Amino acid sequence: MKKAIFVLVLVSAIVFPALCRAQAVGGTWKGKWLSIAGVGTGAITASLVQSGGVVSGKVVLANTSCGTVTVTVSGTVLPSGMAILRGTFKCSAAKSYPFVAHAWTNGAFAAGTYALGPISPNTWADFGSFKMVKQK
């Protein structure tokens, strides 16, 4: 009985911490976004820093209805690979607007959705989907 308990504790100590670690997303990511709102498509780049499950950095979307948008983001990444990033961007010099991205990642590839805005009631600057690959 003592051997069985020891094995269970040893396996738990090895397996569960690995299951509880967030996916590694720190680094540079590049890809494409595709508008669902009809704006078009463009390049997306993310430069992220990660500490545990906390992520911060910059996301740049080119060719949006607001031009090239640079967003300072922060958020979380879960062990499942779900990442949630939030920030603000400027479509004009006068005001900042919200940005949110939800993505799934395996640490090398990411796919998800984004939203820029709203810039006025019921008007979004853009929203759609994206795919990115982590750069080496």
For the stretch 76-111, pLDDT in tens is: 988 888 889 998 887 766 677 788 888 888 888 888
Percent of the chain with pLDDT over 90: 26
For the chain, how far is it from start to end, CA to CA, in angstroms?
48
Q: How far is CA 16 from CA 5, 8, 122, in A?
A: 16, 11, 45
Task: Specify the CATH class of 22-134 in words.
Answer: mainly beta
pTM: 0.75
Q: Which ranges of the chain have pLDDT less than 70?
A: 1-21, 38-39, 92-94, 119, 124-125
- Residue in this structure with the two tokens 């740049």, named with its chain if needed: 60
Q: What pLDDT does 54 receive?
A: 93
Extents of the domains making up the chain:
22-134
Q: How far apart are CA 133 and CA 32, in angstroms?
A: 10
Determine whether 43 is exposed, middle or buried from the number of CB atoms within 10 Å of its CB (0-12, 13-18, 19+): middle
Q: How far apart are CA 73 and CA 110, in angstroms?
A: 16
Determine whether 31 is exposed, middle or buried from the number of CB atoms within 10 Å of its CB (0-12, 13-18, 19+): middle
